[in-house]
Structure 1
Amino acid sequence: MRTMAAVRLPGDSTVEHVTVDVPTPGPGQVLLRMRASSVCGSDIRAIYREHLGHGAEAYQGVVAGHEPCGDVVELGPGVTTLEVSDGVAVYHITGCGACAECRIGYPIGCTAPTRAAHGWQRDGGHAEFMLAESVSCLRLPEGVTHVDGALVSCGFGTAYEGLLRAGVSGRDRLLVTGLGPVGLAAAMLGRHLGAATVIGLEPNAERAALARELDLVDVVVTDPGELADAVGDATGGRGCEVSIDCSGNEHARLAALSNTANRGHCVMVGEGGQMTFPVSDLLIHHQITMHGSWVTSLGHMAELLDLLARWGEHPERIVTHRFALADAADAYAVAAAGASGKVVITWDG
């Protein structure tokens, strides 16, 4: 039996390097040689620091990494939709295929006990090879890189889904609270979808500087106390037609809602935490629609990959740190510090 290097997350902000067997694909499965596997904020919040241990975020001691992208190196019996050497991004949740959520293409919401996410309940991308279901694998269009594909597997897919919920178009001014990797993704994709103005709130100076450097936002606010004036100046006092919170921070969420225009849309994609607000004053009287949006669908992930190719856009533009698998501890430490762009483990150099 061949073996390979892999990484697990035992908690307490530590990374464990292990040697495990290279898996063999069964019916409907493929074996991928990993090319890129990025670190998600949910990994940091729910696994790296401490194991939440319940529900969809119950970490089962598997190989970490739920943003995987690689090349097909072996086909299991019955696989006819992929070929060896195909580069693929992986939708990171495997559902039952039969429940209502799976039937509409959202395995993220699968209700079956067999539901499993790479890096959480089944082995993920922080290894030399990864076993995946062929139905979860989406070919990379020409021009889309392995790092692009890894970022689409969760973070960019999450941002895209949230923007679709709000129907972002050229009619809208967009407010993004939290310019971490998902917020940067929302700003980048919001521009491509036509948002007339993009405003970002990010107290961390390094992340705010990165958003400016990448030209993803028109206005970056680092002092939350100055956000209302900045939004007012940019919108003639109306507020932004669409806001999206990518931070999970209670105060940022409140800022997103408070600066949404009458009859606008406010989207929550940042995980964790709570939010308390006066419902009548901030929501009902302004007739705002609030959306909770969780990851994306297989269909929308495929759509996004195609759009990136057509736009000539590369999510990997927001990557600030690349590490080899052997340096995964450093990768997680950088991501956990909360001052970087996207952090990725890569085999592509």
Structure 2
Amino acid sequence: MTTMSAVRLPGDSTVEHVTVDVPSPGPGQVLLRMRASGICGSDIRAIYREHLGHGAEAYQGVVAGHEPCGDVVELGPGVRTLEVGDAVAVYHITGCGSCDECRIGYPIGCTSPTRAAHGWQRDGGHAEFMLAEAVSCLRLPEGVSHVDGALVSCGFGTAYEGLLRAGVSGRDRLLVTGLGPVGLAAAMLGKHLGASTVIGLEPNAERASLATELGLVDVVITDPADLADAVGDATGGRGCEVSLDCSGNAHARLAALTHTAARGRCVMVGEGGRIDFPVSDLLIHKQVALHGSWVTSLGHMAELLDLLARWGESPERVVSHRFALADADEAYAVAAAGASGKVVITWD
């Protein structure tokens, strides 16, 4: 095969099906046959509807998809860490490798002009094959599926990083605002990390219902006006020790901060938008720690893959829709509607 089917996102809520050459791996690279490729909320927000991104989110007209997982089919010169046939998840950003952020395993924070993310500045996973750097590929442990690996590549990794930033443990009650795919991931992983109670705020009835059906959230609130009573009842009026906003919505962010307990930790993960709040009342006087958290590190991604295998947990549980690459138009339309669980393109 010398050519392959692929998908690009020209904007205007449109999917463009194209035929491109199958690439060949260069030094330090591998060629992957794609097995699963997720659709992320960032794809919808900053690329699919219109090209809003700049800097790290500037879309360069490449093959879409920054949540790739596949099988190694060809090794480039010098690759010694992988073998043909390995199933791998891909850390979706390649940095310069020498800046402070890269050195501690966070290429997401690299500011070098050479930094490139799959699906944004370099070809991503919405194609039959994809080139990846060997250093960015992590073998899937036994029992972890290709779809699991794709979800860890961004959404679940992002949720895990936010929970680590807050130091979630069995001492904590956790509030998650926004139960889209990342919020569902935060609820699932928060439980495994020990959160004694998980409260979720999700106005969309379908997403709220999915969270309930999956058993990921102890209390699901669909009307924001009911959140104060729910948190009060669950915490004796104290508030949640940890809150995580996964929505990017200004009102939800404010709710997360408002219902964080004194000396608690609030983490903002949802991208875009703004927030305005009374700093003295909600932050200083409550002595709350407010964190921003962006994707995860290569090391924490590897750690999460290992934990999923040890826990016997499957991120694939939050997938509500699967599509073939040929049906990517429908896949993006479903994801853009904001009423689903995770939407994934698969070749299985």
Q: Please give the TM-score of this superposition, normalised by the length of structure 2.
A: 1.00
Q: Report what 1:59 is aligned to.
A: 59
Give the SS at the match of 1:23: coil
Output one character per residue of 1:13-35: Cα deviation in whole Å (capped at 9) or x when no partner.
Answer: 00000000000000000000000
For residues 318 and 54 of structure 1, the distance between their equivalents in structure 2, rounded to whole angstroms, comes to 30
For residues 39 and 236 of structure 1, the distance between their equivalents in structure 2, rounded to whole angstroms, comes to 39
For residues 329 and 188 of structure 1, the distance between their equivalents in structure 2, rounded to whole angstroms, comes to 29
Post-superposition offset of 1:4: 0.1
Equivalent runs, 1:1-349 vs 2, <5 Å:
2-348=2-348
Post-superposition offset of 1:232: 0.2
Give the SS at the match of 1:198: strand
For residues 221 and 283 of structure 2, the distance between their equivalents in structure 1, rounded to whole angstroms, comes to 23
Give the SS at the match of 2:316: helix
Match for 2:277: what amino acid?
F
For residues 331 and 67 of structure 2, the distance between their equivalents in structure 1, rounded to whole angstroms, comes to 14
For residues 213 and 275 of structure 1, the distance between their equivalents in structure 2, rounded to whole angstroms, comes to 31
For residues 89 and 52 of structure 1, the distance between their equivalents in structure 2, rounded to whole angstroms, comes to 27
For residues 157 and 291 of structure 2, the distance between their equivalents in structure 1, rounded to whole angstroms, comes to 16
For residues 216 and 53 of structure 1, the distance between their equivalents in structure 2, rounded to whole angstroms, comes to 32
Post-superposition offset of 1:52: 1.5
Output one character per residue of 1:178-228: Cα deviation in whole Å (capped at 9) or x when no partner.
Answer: 000000000000000000000000000000000000000000000001101
Give the SS at the match of 2:17: strand
Output one character per residue of 1:104-136: Cα deviation in whole Å (capped at 9) or x when no partner.
Answer: 000000011000000000000000000000000
Match for 2:187: what amino acid?
A
Give the SS at the match of 2:81: coil
For residues 210 and 226 of structure 2, the distance between their equivalents in structure 1, rounded to whole angstroms, comes to 20
Output one character per residue of 1:251-298: Cα deviation in whole Å (capped at 9) or x when no partner.
Answer: 000000000000000000000000000000110000000000000000
For residues 329 and 264 of structure 1, the distance between their equivalents in structure 2, rounded to whole angstroms, comes to 43
Post-superposition offset of 1:157: 0.1
Give the SS at the match of 2:241: strand
Alignment coverage as a number of residue pairs: 348
Output one character per residue of 1:41-65: Cα deviation in whole Å (capped at 9) or x when no partner.
Answer: 0000000001024111100000000
Output one character per residue of 1:228-262: Cα deviation in whole Å (capped at 9) or x when no partner.
Answer: 11000000000000000000000000000000000
Output one character per residue of 1:82-109: Cα deviation in whole Å (capped at 9) or x when no partner.
Answer: 0000000000000000000000000000
Match for 1:84: what amino acid?
V
Give the SS at the match of 1:230: helix
Structure 1, gaps ≥5 residues long: none
**Cα–Cα, structure 1 residues 202 and 53, in superposed 2: closer, same or farther, change >3 Å?**
closer
**Cα–Cα, structure 1 residues 241 and 295, in superposed 2: closer, same or farther, change >3 Å?**
same
Give the SS at the match of 1:120: coil
Match for 2:315: what amino acid?
P
Give the SS at the match of 1:299: helix
Give the SS at the match of 1:66: coil
Match for 1:49: what amino acid?
R
For residues 99 and 169 of structure 1, the distance between their equivalents in structure 2, rounded to whole angstroms, comes to 32
Match for 1:112: what amino acid?
S
Post-superposition offset of 1:7: 0.1
Match for 1:262: what amino acid?
A
Identity of aligned residues (%): 89
For residues 252 and 207 of structure 2, the distance between their equivalents in structure 1, rounded to whole angstroms, comes to 15
Q: Please give the TM-score of this superposition, normalised by the length of structure 1.
A: 0.99
Post-superposition offset of 1:309: 0.1
The runs of at least 4 aligned residues of structure 1 exceeding 3 Å deviation read none
